[in-house]
């Protein structure tokens, strides 16, 4: 079967779709990691607040 220009266009669109999907997965992972970091920092802050007594 001879490859038509439309076939090449379809192939490049599919390749682009895969890259966009991979990039969106990356972004989701980054947001999740940042959320986990914020939660961990809040826990650390609460622990410090409850264990360190202010000196007046």
Is 26 contained in some domain?
yes
Q: Domain of 19?
A: 7-49
25-40 confidence digits (pLDDT tens): 999 999 999 999 999 9
Split at pLDDT 50, 70, 90, the class of 18 is: very high
Tell me the whole-structure pTM to 2 decimals. 0.60
How many structural domains compose the chain? Answer: 1
Split at pLDDT 50, 70, 90, the class of 44 is: very high
Is 54 contained in some domain?
no
Rounded distance between C-alpha atoms, residue 37 and residue 23, angstroms: 21
């Amino acid at each position: 079967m001879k490859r038509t220009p439309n076939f090449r266009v379809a192939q490049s669109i599919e390749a682009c779709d895969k890259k966009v999907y991979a990039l969106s997965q990356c972004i989701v992972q980054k947001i999740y990691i940042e959320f986990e970091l914020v939660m961990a920092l809040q826990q650390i802050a609460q622990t410090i607040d409850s264990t360190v007594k202010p000196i007046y």
